[in-house]
Amino acid sequence: MDFNLTEEQEALQKMARKFSEQEIIPYIQEYDDKEEFPWSIIKKMHEVGLMTTAVPEEYGGPGIDMVGQMLVTEELCYGCLGVGATMAASALLAPGPVEVGANHEQKKYFYNMLNEGKLAAFCLTEPGAGSDVAAMSTTARRDGDYYILNGTKQFITNAGVADVYVVFATTDKKLRFKGINGFIVDRHTPGITVGPEEKKMGLRVSDTRQVIFEDVRVPVANRLGAENEGFKICMKALDLSRPSVAAEAVGVAQRAFEEAIKYSKERVAFGQPISNFQAIRFILADMAMEIEAARLLTYKACVQAMKGLPFTHIASYAKCFASDVAMRVTTNAVQVLGGYGYLREYKVEKLMRDAKVMQIYEGTNQIQRVVISGHILK
């Protein structure tokens, strides 16, 4: 057992932190205020390789391992969750079903898109089916060498900015999980439209919309895996991506922690910095402990996955624990800053707004507890 990062991992972590400090933090408040997608930042991220860390070497990528991918995710989310989540949805979540279920040609097509700087989106959730994936209503009706897709997807990260979608649809809703299929879909296929940008509590720079499919013809060759095997491909992909939500949460929490420390050393009350008071010191100590525990769980989920060991439950521990930690840490950071923490000018207000979504997306924390309790009681 070794808790140290390798030299390459440390270099990657430093590079991503520097990018966050120089290219994200100085500019992001304006994007957040305007609720604007930060194209210029995303393009720079692509140029320096931060949008393709998970592309395997045989498909022209750097083939960075899962721990390395998490280090990048954490550091980008230290800068801004919306930026990190744009990267994670395109570069980690959407590629998941491809990595798990695609053939060589499909991988070549999909990874080429990422290598060219195109974005991807993962289209699973529907207006009436979020936690209950098997209840989805988007249909895939076979018609010769094509499937015809009809239905609506909801809360899709990158919907309006992506060029390629990974879409799940059912051949027969009555079959529940046994009717689901995943497809790689060119976003510009006739019949696909996107809804207006959702107005959100946090994650405001991220592009979130509905995606509507009306008689969209998708070649059978674009189906991932065998017919009706899509549910398990999807679950395995979510197992792989949930640690990245944990890494996002660690990044957001770390930032809030550092902002709270800085403020507590500068702010004077009763004749001394408030960091001298036990009330503040204990809050900071709890933050430090919880962030470190969340980080270690994140790494553990990755190491289990990389070793081919069962990790579904650890991915859920990490996602659930880290996002709960991020919510607590950001809320307490606002408390440490007091009235100033509640002002937009002081960064922790955004961190607290952003943190909430991580307890909800990629499986609510209640669903993570369903997965965990199912595992421990099996």
Active site residues: 362
From 15-23, 95-103, 105-113, 235-243, span contacting ligand CAA (CB under 6 A)? 235-243
> Looking at 8-16, 167-175, 218-226, 363-371, which segment touches ligand CAA (CB under 6 A)?
363-371
Give least dist CB 123 to ligand CAA, A.
Answer: 8
Amino acid at 353: R
Residue at token pair 């307890």: 359
Six token digits for residue 98: 């491809």
Question: Which segment (1-9, 13-21, 52-60, 232-240) binds ligand CAA by CB under 6 A?
Answer: 232-240
The footprint of ligand CAA on residues 75-114 (CB under 6 A) is 89, 93
Q: Rounded to the nearest 10 degrees, how much is the dihedral formed by the CA atoms of 367, 369, 374, 377? A: -170
Nearer of residues 230 and 341 to ligand CAA, judged by Cβ: 230
* Helix H or strand E segment including 72: helix 66-79
Q: How many Cβ atoms are within 10 Å of 219's Cβ, its own excluded?
A: 15
Nearer to ligand CAA, 155 or 257 (CB): 155
Q: Based on CB atoms, which residue is closest to ligand CAA, 323 or 332?
A: 323
- b/e map 198-216, b = 16+ CB within 10 Å: bebebbbbbbbbbbbbeeb
Could you tell me the sign of the dihedral formed by the alpha carbons of 213, 214, 220, 222, in that order?
A: negative
Structural contact between residues 141 and 166, judged by C-beta atoms closer than 8 angstroms: no
Q: How far is the CB of 124 from ligand CAA (least distance, A)?
A: 5
> Distance (Å, rounded) from C-alpha 303 to C-alpha 295?
12
Instruction: Identify which of residues 92 and 325 has a Cβ nearer to ligand CAA in the complex.
Output: 92
Q: Which of 84, 101, 179, 363 binds ligand CAA (CB under 6 A)?
A: 363
Residues within window 297-356 making contact with ligand CAA, judged by CB under 6 A: 312
Listed ranges 51-59, 190-198, 279-287, 365-373: which one lies at the site for ligand CAA (CB under 6 A): 365-373
User: Smallest distance from the beta carbon of 367 to ligand CAA, in angstroms?
Assistant: 5
H helix and E strand count, the chain: 12, 10
- Identify the three-state secondary structure at position 59: helix
Token pair listed for 30: 């304006």
Using CB under 6 A, count the residues that bind ligand CAA: 26
Binding mask 172-211 for ligand CAA (x = CB under 6 A): -----x----------------------------------
Closest residue to ligand CAA using C-beta atoms: 363
Considering the complex, state which of residue 129 and residue 337 has its C-beta at the smaller distance from ligand CAA: 129
Per rule CB under 6 A, is residue 154 in the interface with ligand CAA?
A: no
Which distant-in-sequence residues (6+ apart) come within 8 Å of 374 by Cβ?
Answer: none
| Torsion angles phi and psi, residue 50, rounded to 5 | -85, -5
The DSSP string of 204-263 is: TTS-EEEEEEEEEEEEGGGEESSTT-HHHHHHHHHHHHHHHHHHHHHHHHHHHHHHHHHH
Tokens standing for residue 228? 């009706």
- CB 304, min distance to ligand CAA, A: 13
Minimum Å gap between C-beta 141 and ligand CAA is: 22
What's 268's DSSP letter?
E
How far apart are the C-alpha atoms of 127 and 353, rounded to whole Å?
Answer: 23
Q: Which of residues 112-131 bind ligand CAA (CB under 6 A)?
A: 122, 124-125, 131
Would you say 61 or 97 has its CB closer to ligand CAA? 97
Which of the stretches 50-58, 105-113, 132-140, 342-350 binds ligand CAA when contact is defined by CB under 6 A? 132-140
Task: Give the shortest CB-121-to-ligand CAA separation in angstroms.
Answer: 7
Span near ligand CAA by CB under 6 A; candidates 109-117, 256-264, 323-331, 367-375: 367-375
Contacts of 158 (CB under 8 A, 6+ apart): 86, 89, 90, 94, 119, 120, 121, 206, 207
Residues that bind ligand CAA (CB under 6 A): 89, 93, 122, 124-125, 131-134, 155-157, 177, 231-232, 235-236, 238-239, 312, 361-363, 367, 370-371
